[in-house]
Chain A
Amino acid sequence: MIDNGFPLTTEPNILRQMIASPNIVSKMLSVATGNSSNVSNTLPDATASCVPWRITDLKHTNNEVYVDLVEEMDAIINSDGALVKCEINGEVQVNSHLSGLPDLTLSFANPSILNDVRFHPCVRFRPWESHQILSFVPPDGQFKLMSYRSNVIHLQGQKVEEYSDICKATANLRFWDMPYQCFADLTSNHGAVNILANKTCSWSIGRIPKDKAPSMSGTLALETDLERLNVFPTFQVGFRIMGVALSALQIDKLDLRNLPNRPYKGFRALTQAGEFEVRS
């Protein structure tokens, strides 16, 4: 909500209480009653509270909190095949459905690998400064607790195999800005290769096989009147690996205080490609 060009209310929690977001039930109600108001008549309490991101009196029947590590790998592989730059950008996403005003503490087993961090406003700075612990009162629902950057990549080839049972990968290859390329013939030793109209090749590997390393090879043909390329395209690669955090960041424990009953805690990890490009 903007007032005179200056943000008046930007906190999603308060906005959601002021103006109810439309959903099926409210739509049905409005059709039935003819009253389509989704504007609240009262000021949300959160405007005056010291935790504006949280509704003060929340009640959930089953308390649960999920922590997801979502990592993106940025890498540049140059024309010689050397890894020029590689870093991991990760996010800790929390989905919390907790009653009351819980106080959560999240600690990592290896916080030293974090190169850089940025926090959701709910995270208290002091505990992080002193002990590298995330202490916070969570907003309700899905939110991004923190994002981090790490240069350390522990995962090597053999480790992939270790995870290969659970890991599913798809790779997308984009021939970026290539006016020359008109025809491609690509084959792989595992999974299916699809060449799409928008100069994208999709290679779904599926479950990574244990006996061989999946690879794709082929030739790209140039337009007829061109013999050589003097400019070289860049391939953008996209992939998704479930269940692995490439930075090897490990969550040590999640403590919950100020809760009436024991909640369910869940943890997941996911790695995908960020700006992963291969120069030719």
Chain B
Amino acid sequence: MFPQFGATADTLSKASTMVFRIGTDAHLYDDPEDVNISLLLDSKFDSEKCEALKRLLALIAQGFDVSNFFPQVVKNVASQSLEVKKLVYLYLLHYAEKRPNEALLSINSFQKDLGDPNPLVRALALRAMAGIRLHVISPIVLVAVGKCARDPSVYVRKCAANALPKLYDLHLEENTTTIEEIVGILLNDNSPGVVGAAAAAFASVCPNNLSLIERNYRRLCETLPDVEDWGQIVLIGVLLRYVIARHGLAKESIMLSSCATVSYRSENDGSENDGSDTNFELKENGKDKGCDVYESELPEIVSRSYLEGPENYLSRSSHADKGSFGLDFSCFTSAKSNYDVKILLQCTSPLLWSHNSAVVLAAAGFHWIMAPKEDVKRIVKPLLFVLRSSNASKYVVLCNIQVFAKVMPYVFSPYYEDFFICSSDSYQIKALKLEILSSIATDSSILVIFQEFQDYVRDPDRRFAADTVAAIGLCVRRLPKVSDMCLGWLLALTRQESLNSDIGSVGGEDGVLVQALISIKAIINLDPPCHEKVIVQLVRSLELIKVPAARAMIFWMVGEYNSIGGIIPLMLPTVLKYLAWCFTSEALEAKLQILNTAVKVLLCSKGEDMWTFRRILSYVLELAICDLSYDVRDRARVLKKLLSPLIVSHDLEVEAKGLPENKDLKIVVADLFFRGQSKPCPEPINYRFYLPGSLSHIVLHAAPGYEPLPYPCSLSIDELGHDFNDVQGIEALREGPTGSDSYGVDGSDTVSGSLDGENTSDYSSEYSITGSGGSGGEESGSVSESDDNADPLINFSDVSNACANQNGGSQDNNAPSRIDDFEELMSKKSLDSWLDEHPSQSSSELTHIQRSSARISLGHIGGRVKLKSHKLLDPVIGNGLSVDYTFSSEISSVSPLLVCVEVSFTNCSTEPMSKLLLVDEESSKGIDSAEAALATSESPLTSDKDVPILVPLEDINSLDASQTIRRILQVRFHHHLLPLKLVLWCNGKKHPVKLRPDIGFFVKPLPMDIEMFTSKESQLPGMFEYTRSCTFTDHIGELKNEQCDSSLIKDKFLVICESLALKMLSNANLFLVSVDMPVAANLDDASGLRLRFSSEILSNSIPCLITATVEGKCSEPLTLSVKVNCEETVFGLNLLNRIVNFLAEPILTTL
């Protein structure tokens, strides 16, 4: 109309947008990359950094990958500006999982922030740190959370509670107890805000550890009204679970009252008694009983669904008897006398006034389950009030009300007006409201509701109108008194012109008509003799009704009720003739019903009509046999065969009359088919009930995380004290078998052979460095040349090995090269004792003095190195096949990415096994036979990229009973912490197994001397240095043994060194560089003892230096501080964790 004005408006709106954008960051989104971001990131002004970070976030939001800025961004984590920090954290959280190594660089800064005086900074650091989902840092985060859980600031404690589910999500099984302890601490908090968050953590971390609630129950109840809305919802759920587990269901509650509907019934009965027709009333009471059984069962079904989960309950009840509740009555408590229940009911009732709909619903759900049933009505009004909110929440509330109204219709029945439908309601809401209305209608309210329904049928939404008609049918079934009125109205509806007009089929009028007939059918079914006239009227309107489904239904009614009353039998011949006449023009379903009806009529007919009916039936059958639809043809043939005596033989009638007991079998069968259906079978209960307010209840299947209520009284007082012990007991049990298994293998004869060989090689490899000082390059060269040999280490150290095998010879070898300016410190005696004890092994003790410490080297230790064996396949699972694996110290000859694992297959069964093959999961999918696997393995793979996950070991064709075969497996782990999934084929069967990596064997010994070590160490300071402490106890047992065995007196220091070095070398593939001893020390003080190890990472040859320093007294547990220097931060941290773990582990085996 006014294009100029339109243009102006456009400009105006643009201008106003510009004005609104002033002072915001919106412009950053237009073209985030129009400046040099990396330059800004390195700027020394916080505002420029901010802008750069905002631009990066804008890019992330637009879907660009900007992870290449990671190092530059992470550098800014140490910024003092809170805004920069926040932005960096946002960026970090987005990319941390993708770039774990760089993400670790920020950890130090987080640690520093955790000590910041500003609680906002502490909370922010904790949230960001917990949000970085890396296994590596989880121990650090756990410690941080533990610290923050005791923080003076409420806000920080709340963040700590929120961090717990994040930690738990990482599946840190070993830390579960610690996490649960922290939950306990937070639940005990004084601030309501923290309690709410702690409840949420509890619900997601350990929802079944209800002993934590036991301690704080009363206090939790009292703080409930002060907790934040969202916390309240979770807390109510937690407390409900606790109360049920501790005290059981309340015996006055609706859950346990199968007599819940009785009071309602008695009301009804009272009104029914006024009825004059006694016969009618009798019948009605009979009906009522059927109804009663159904309704009184409902609370029980609901409560059991709540306790067991509907899937469980329904599947069980379908084939088992429903009577066995399984709960004895001692499990019940009383809501009136039990203080715990009473206090919670008291504390939740004001929450029904909450302005948060979800809180109202949660509180109502609690009252629904636990409150005495006379008090349940207090939830009704709040629930109805919540209905006045958004469409979505309206739907949720209605879903819950629907169940409540089904179980206790009488508490909702006075409020029927609230369920009247507004035109603005969505269809789903309308349908729910209709269902609720039809289940709460009473004799007094049905008239108003019926009036309302009549309005709904005129609604433009025809689907809704059809539903309304169905709801009328439901109402009448519950309240048979109004059947006459409703039937009259429904009949009028079916005769409405519009429903039968041609336009009707477009607008869904069919549905309304069919639904009307279904309702009529259901109502007639209640009491057929009374509604005879209705059937007559329907038949009369057949001319008018054109919808096939509706016609079919009328035909069915004619057949079904053909002998009822006085009018129908009279009109039957005419009706049947009409049916036969219009048979050809009917639709499929109507044709089938005509056939049925004709047969039914014939079977019930008497006297002279029979002949007519027989004629009609045979006529219809003739027509049907030639029908186009095979369904109709088949039905006709079956009927013809079945009824042949009736149709064909004319004198059968006499026979049948005279001797009813001799009736033809076929007729009996037909009788069974077509009669005896008139009994209404009770409707099966197929509702699924989930806990009120749960997501599962809305979607009607168990949503992830849905748990039914705990078993009543499953938490007893005795249990509470022992709960923690139980957990530990289970853990011990879990560890037990694996531990003993590895023992068994260690002790078995198989170990002695091969392990000894390895040990020698270990030892000699150490030795070769000190002795011959051979360069690394040469060695690796020799390794690659000696492919044919199974043990490359032996190869390259052949010379020194030969020397070493002569006892003491090695000492001579070493002495000249190293001893120059060092003094021998060790006493002659102890040296002798060494030699005495292990005469077969070479030993050398060179003690060096440097400043105030002495240096020794423990060459002999190699012989005692005991590699730990792990279980790959348990004989129980593997049909008697037991597979163990040990990380070997060999180096793969194929690729540096491969780790050597020695796998030993043992047949524990009595029968031989064949075709043993171990392949990785992916390749196993493609490989059908073992041959194919072998074929692939033969092709040499050399380049790094093509390195297979598994270099397959040669096929073991057969394994006799109790035979053991060992193979060296070369594996490429995807990750140094995550297990590798493999598939073990045996006897053609597939066993999935998991190979857990041991980071200690992802390194190989890097021979070096002490000078090199110190110089390397000085090159890897600060960020590349990680320290952790642990307690070491192995030596104590050993020292005790020494004391008992008085003939041998060993130096305590030596024992410590020895046991420490042994432990290190047994668990990781390291090279022992040196052992430093304190010189001026007290005899019993081991402080200052220092062991140095060196290694390099297999995959990238980055050196990894380890220093273990001892502190404490010899005869007591020692504190070890272990330091790792490594450029590869993640690897170094993980290695450190692993070392600390195995050092702290108590000794498993003594030689």
Q: Which residues of A contact B (CB under 8 A)?
A: 3-4, 6-8, 10-11, 22, 26-31, 34-37, 39-43, 47-48, 50, 52, 74, 76, 78-79, 84-85, 89, 115-121, 125, 128-129, 144, 147, 149, 176-179, 228, 230-234, 236, 275, 277, 279
Contacts and interface: CB of A to CB of B under 8 A. Distances in A.
B451 interface: yes
Nearest to B461: A177
Contacts of A236: 423-424
Given A4-B162, A118-B353, 8 more contacts: A4-B163, A6-B230, A27-B23, A35-B47, A36-B25, A119-B353, A179-B460, A277-B422
Contacts of A275: 422, 424
A22 B388 contact: no
Given A7-B230, A230-B458, A231-B460, A85 B350 contact: no
Interface of B: 22-25, 47, 50, 82-83, 86, 118-120, 123, 127, 130-131, 153-155, 158-159, 162-163, 165-166, 191, 193, 197, 200, 225-226, 228-230, 350, 353-355, 360, 381-382, 384-385, 388, 417, 420, 422-424, 448, 451-452, 455, 458-462, 465, 496, 498, 507
Contacts of A26: 23
Nearest to B424: A275
A85 B355 contact: no
B456 to A, nearest CB: 9
Contacts of A231: 458-460, 462, 465, 507
11 contacts: A4-B163, A43-B155, A74-B388, A85-B420, A116-B381, A119-B353, A230-B498, A231-B459, A231-B465, A232-B460, A279-B458
Nearest to B51: A36
B23 A31 contact: yes
Contacts of B191: 48
B46 to A, nearest CB: 9
Contacts of B83: 37, 39
A184 B522 CA distance: 43
A232 B120 CA distance: 61
A218 B1081 CA distance: 112
B460 A178 contact: yes
B229 A121 contact: yes
Going nearest first, the 10 A-B pairs with the smallest beta carbon separation are A27-B23, A230-B498, A125-B350, A234-B423, A43-B120, A116-B385, A232-B458, A30-B23, A231-B460, A7-B230
A230 B497 CA distance: 9
A128 B225 CA distance: 14
Nearest to B155: A47
A162 B353 CA distance: 35
Contact of A125 (B225, B385, B424): B225
Contacts of B360: 118
Given A6-B230, A78-B455, A37 B50 contact: yes
Contacts of B118: 41-43
Interface of B is mostly: helix
A33 B971 CA distance: 61
A91 B47 CA distance: 45
Contacts of B154: 47-48
Contacts of A52: 193
Contacts of A11: 228
A39 B86 contact: yes
A277 B424 CA distance: 10
Given A6-B200, A234-B423, A78 B451 contact: yes
A152 to B, nearest CB: 14
B458 A79 contact: yes
B30 to A, nearest CB: 16
Contacts of B230: 6-7, 10
Nearest to A86: B417
B423 A36 contact: no
B120 A41 contact: yes
Nearest to B425: A275
Given A37-B83, A236-B423, A121 B193 contact: no
A74 B496 CA distance: 32
A41 B82 contact: yes
A6 B155 contact: no
Contacts of A234: 423, 459
Contacts of B459: 231-232, 234
A223 to B, nearest CB: 12
A48 B153 contact: yes
Contact of A39 (B24, B82, B451): B82
Nearest to A120: B355
A49 to B, nearest CB: 9
Contacts of B22: 27, 31
Given A31-B23, A42-B120, A48-B191, A76 B458 contact: no
A236 B424 CA distance: 9
Contacts of B385: 116, 118, 147, 149
A269 B100 CA distance: 61
Nearest to A32: B23
Contacts of B86: 39
Contacts of B507: 231
Contacts of B465: 231
Contacts of B163: 4
B764 to A, nearest CB: 54
Nearest to A23: B23
A29 B23 CA distance: 8
B162 A144 contact: no
Contact of B420 (A47, A76, A232): A76
A42 B124 CA distance: 12
A10 B228 contact: yes
A74 B162 CA distance: 42
B83 to A, nearest CB: 5
Looking at A6, A36, A85, the one whose CB has the most chain B CB atoms below 10 A away is: A6
Nearest to B382: A116
A179 B507 CA distance: 12
Nearest to B354: A118
B47 A10 contact: no
B460 A177 contact: yes
Given A118-B355, A125-B225, A277-B423, A8 B455 contact: no
Contacts of A36: 23-25
Contact of A149 (B388, B424, B458): B388
Nearest to A147: B355
Looking at A115, A129, A230, A233, the one whose CB has the most chain B CB atoms below 10 A away is: A230
A176 B155 contact: no
A176 B423 contact: yes
B432 to A, nearest CB: 17
A50 to B, nearest CB: 8
A3 B230 CA distance: 13
B50 A22 contact: no
Given A28-B23, A47-B193, A236-B424, A8 B225 contact: no
Given A36-B25, A39-B82, A42-B120, A125 B353 contact: yes
Given A43-B118, A48-B155, A275-B424, A144 B355 contact: yes
A8 B158 contact: yes
Given A6-B162, A117-B353, A34 B47 contact: yes
B266 to A, nearest CB: 28
A47 B122 CA distance: 15
